[in-house]
Chain A
Amino acid sequence: MFDLEKSIREWNKDFRKQDSLEDGVLADMELLLRDAYKDHRRAGLDEEDAFRAAAAQVGPAPSIASAYRKNQIAVLNRRSPFRLSRFMPALVGNYIKIAFRKIRREKGYSLINVAGLAVGIACCLLILSWVRFELSYERFHKNATEIYRVISEFHSPGGEINYTLESQAPLAAALKQNYPEIINSARTLSADWKIGREGARFRESVWFVDPAFLDIFTFTFVQGDPATALSDPNSVILTETLAKKHFRNDNPIGKTVIGGRNTSLIVSGVIKDIPQKSHLDINAIIPLEIRTAGQNLTEWGGFNYRTYIQLQKGSSGKDVQQKIKNLLEKYTPKTQTTIQLQPLTNIHLFALEGGGMITYIYIFSAMALLILLIACVNYMSLSSAKASARAKEAGIRQVVGARRKQLISQFLGESFIHSLIATIIAIVLAQVFLPAFQRLAGNKFMVSYSLGTIALAVGIAALTGILSGSYPAFVLSRVKPVKIFKGILRSGGEGVLFRKILVIVQLALSIFFIFGTLVISKQVHLLRNKYLGYDKKNIICLDTMDGIAGNYSAVKNKLMNNPHIAGMTVVDCFLDEPNSSATSDVISWEGQKAGESLPWLIVRGVDFDFQNTFGIEMAEGRFFSEKYPSDRNDSMIVNEAAVKAMKMDSPIGKKFHFWGYNGTIIGVIKDFHFRSLHKNIEPMVMKIGINLQRIAIRIKAEDVAATLKFIETEIKKIVPSYSFEFEFLDEKLDWLYRAERRMENIALSISFLAIFLSCLGVLGLAAFMAKEKTKEIGIRKVLGASVRSITMMFYKEYVRWVIAANLIACPLGFYIVGRWLQKFAYRINIGILIYVLSSALVLFIVLLTVSFQSVRAATAHPIDSIRYE
Chain B
Amino acid sequence: MITKTLMAASTRPIILAILSGREDYGYNIIQKVKNISGGNLEWTDGMLYSVLQRMEMDGLVTSQWKIDGESRPRRYFEITAEGRRVLASEMANWKQILKAMTLFSRRHPAES
Instruction: State the A residues within 8 Å of B (CB).
Output: 25, 28-29, 31-32, 34-36, 56-60, 63-64, 67-68, 70-71, 74-75
Contacts and interface: CB of A to CB of B under 8 A. Distances in A.
B82 interface: no
Contacts of A36: 27, 45
A71 B43 CA distance: 16
A57 B75 CA distance: 19
B74 A59 contact: no
Interface stretch (B13-21, B48-56, B87-95, B103-111): B48-56
B50 A71 contact: yes
Contacts of B46: 29, 32, 58-59, 63-64, 67
B49 A74 contact: no
A75 B59 CA distance: 12
Contact of A63 (B26, B44, B54): B44
B57 A75 contact: yes
Given A28-B49, A68-B53, 14 more contacts: A31-B72, A32-B27, A32-B30, A32-B46, A32-B49, A57-B44, A57-B45, A59-B44, A59-B45, A59-B46, A63-B44, A67-B50, A74-B57, A75-B57
A59 B46 CA distance: 6
Given A31-B72, A71-B53, A71-B57, A59 B27 contact: no
Nearest to B56: A71
Interface residues of B, number: 16
Interface of B: prevailing SS: helix
Given A57-B45, A64-B44, A71-B57, A31 B74 contact: yes
A59 B74 CA distance: 20
The 10 A-B pairs with the shortest beta carbon distances in the complex, nearest first, are A59-B44, A64-B46, A67-B50, A35-B27, A59-B46, A71-B54, A58-B46, A58-B45, A32-B45, A67-B47
Contacts of B54: 71, 74
B91 to A, nearest CB: 24
A70 B47 CA distance: 11
Contacts of A58: 44-46
Interface of B: 26-27, 30, 43-47, 49-50, 53-54, 57, 72, 74-75
Contacts of B50: 64, 67-68, 70-71
Contacts of B45: 32, 36, 57-59
Contacts, number: 54
B47 A59 contact: yes
| Residue of B46, B57, B72 most packed against chain A (CB within 10 A) | B46
B4 to A, nearest CB: 12
A776 B101 CA distance: 90
Contacts of A56: 44
A74 B56 CA distance: 13
29 contacts: A28-B26, A28-B75, A29-B46, A31-B27, A31-B72, A31-B74, A31-B75, A32-B26, A32-B27, A32-B30, A32-B46, A36-B27, A56-B44, A57-B45, A59-B45, A59-B46, A63-B46, A63-B47, A64-B47, A64-B49, A64-B50, A67-B46, A67-B47, A67-B50, A70-B50, A71-B53, A71-B54, A74-B57, A75-B57
Contacts of A35: 27
Contacts of B49: 28-29, 32, 64
B44 A31 contact: no
A25 B44 CA distance: 15
A63 B27 CA distance: 18
B12 to A, nearest CB: 13
Contact of B53 (A25, A57, A60, A63): A25
A70 B74 CA distance: 24
A31 B46 CA distance: 11
A31 B26 contact: yes
A68 to B, nearest CB: 5
Contacts of A71: 50, 53-54, 57
Contacts of A25: 53
| Residue of A29, A31, A70 most packed against chain B (CB within 10 A) | A31
A471 B3 CA distance: 63
Contacts of B30: 32
B76 to A, nearest CB: 12
A68 B54 CA distance: 8
A11 to B, nearest CB: 12
Contacts of B27: 31-32, 35-36
Contacts of A32: 26-27, 30, 45-46, 49
Contacts of B43: 59
